[in-house]
Amino acid sequence: MHTVFSDGEVWPTVRVEEAWRNGLDVFSITDHVEQEYHSYQDDIRIDLNRSFELARTRAEALGLTIIRGAEITRDMPPGHFSAIFLQDVKPLQTSKWRDAVKAAYDQGAFIFWNHPGWIGQQPDGIAKWYDEHTELLEKGWLHGIEVVNQKAYYPEAQQWCLEHKLTMLGNSDAHQPIAMLYDSSSDAHRPMTLVFADNNSEESVKQALLARRTAIYWNNMLFGEDTYLKPVFERSIQILDPKITIIGTGLVYVQILNDSDVSLELVANGQVDEILFPIQITLRAGKTVLLPVRGRSVELSGSKEIKIPYRVNNLRITPLEGLPVELKLNVTFKKAKQ
């Protein structure tokens, strides 16, 4: 995110208050290091560490963790990079991009590629991988990529993260006030990187980021590896009455509570022999919905565990695949009376 200390339009404290209101635990301000992005230098004395310092007090008062960061902003290739967990931003203000990235790396920074398919650098909106990115990767200077930036999703970046073992991130890249960028009267919200860390400390978050323990929440979707999305699904969903009795080809409604903030879009991922179930169903956020199931045969009897196979279309483990899940029911089948 940016402030008046580069080309943003808010004082650093606004970023703290926004983070608190939006429910973030950890955040970073990443003002550009390059002078050409210091839009207000006629009025403001630019100090690259200043936005962090001005924000820190309020962040602490609100119990938030703020991480010192900066953006290295160069032509493509290699494009823009954020470096976080810095000790001092100043050494990054250098003309050659390799020097700037190295300066971050030498401070132990976590470095990620920003908006790889940004229309300002890739007019068709499609991210491209250059030799420079291979170089960064091989040097150990690249730890992650923004799969989501502001209001754009880059499927290529999600794929690269899987292939190259890079961390997936989703960030707002806000220059304006957040509430002007994402209208709170609509469903829009800032992208968030979910970091599966032990706690909110800087060390713990850094460890989790380096270990790629993240998922991205944006636009009623989660993007991440199944290792992380599966428990999210399992702790969000509760089948309120998993023991049901089906008589012949009769209809039974199963109540499913989705206790999360994300409506989950399920599509059938195969069939089962004993029962029919909907091809698609949406488990609305914070609501209980009815899943209608029906017996396939008048002849069935006895009890059985049935696993209904679905994919969750908006929990994306790859750009094209939803997370496979099973809804488990304990069904007692009874023959219908003639």
- Contact residues for its own copies, defined by CB under 8 A: 4, 8-11, 13-14, 17-18, 21, 40, 43-45, 47, 50, 54, 61-63, 176-177, 179-180, 183-185, 240-241, 252-253, 255, 290
162 or 179: whose CB is closer to its own copies? 179
Q: Cβ of residue 131: shortest distance to its own copies, in angstroms?
A: 28
Spatial neighbors of 23 by CB under 8 A, at least 6 apart, are: none
Report residue 279 as tokens: 């091809």
Residue in the structure block whose two tokens are 């968030």: 192
What's the CA gap between 41 and 93, in Å, rounded? 15
* Entry field: residues in the chain: 338
Q: Cβ of residue 246: shortest distance to its own copies, in angstroms?
A: 12
What's the CA gap between 116 and 173, in Å, rounded? 13
Pairing of strands 26-29, 65-73: parallel
**C-beta neighbour count of 58 within 10 angstroms:** 18
22 or 107: whose CB is closer to its own copies? 22
18 or 34: whose CB is closer to its own copies? 18
40 or 107: whose CB is closer to its own copies? 40
176 or 301: whose CB is closer to its own copies? 176
What's the CA gap between 285 and 282, in Å, rounded? 9
Q: Cβ of residue 60: shortest distance to its own copies, in angstroms?
A: 11
Q: Cβ of residue 56: shortest distance to its own copies, in angstroms?
A: 15
Q: Cβ of residue 242: shortest distance to its own copies, in angstroms?
A: 13
117 or 144: whose CB is closer to its own copies? 117
Amino acid letter for position 152: A
Say if CB 167 and CB 143 are below 8 A apart: yes
3 state SS of 15:
helix
Q: Cβ of residue 11: shortest distance to its own copies, in angstroms?
A: 4
Say if CB 283 and CB 266 are below 8 A apart: yes
What's the CA gap between 99 and 239, in Å, rounded? 55
Spatial neighbors of 106 by CB under 8 A, at least 6 apart, are: 91
Spatial neighbors of 316 by CB under 8 A, at least 6 apart, are: 158, 221, 222, 223, 224, 322, 323
162 or 181: whose CB is closer to its own copies? 181
Q: Residue 115: name the closest of 166, 64, 65, 78 by CA.
A: 78
125 or 231: whose CB is closer to its own copies? 125
Q: Cβ of residue 294: shortest distance to its own copies, in angstroms?
A: 13
Q: Cβ of residue 14: shortest distance to its own copies, in angstroms?
A: 5
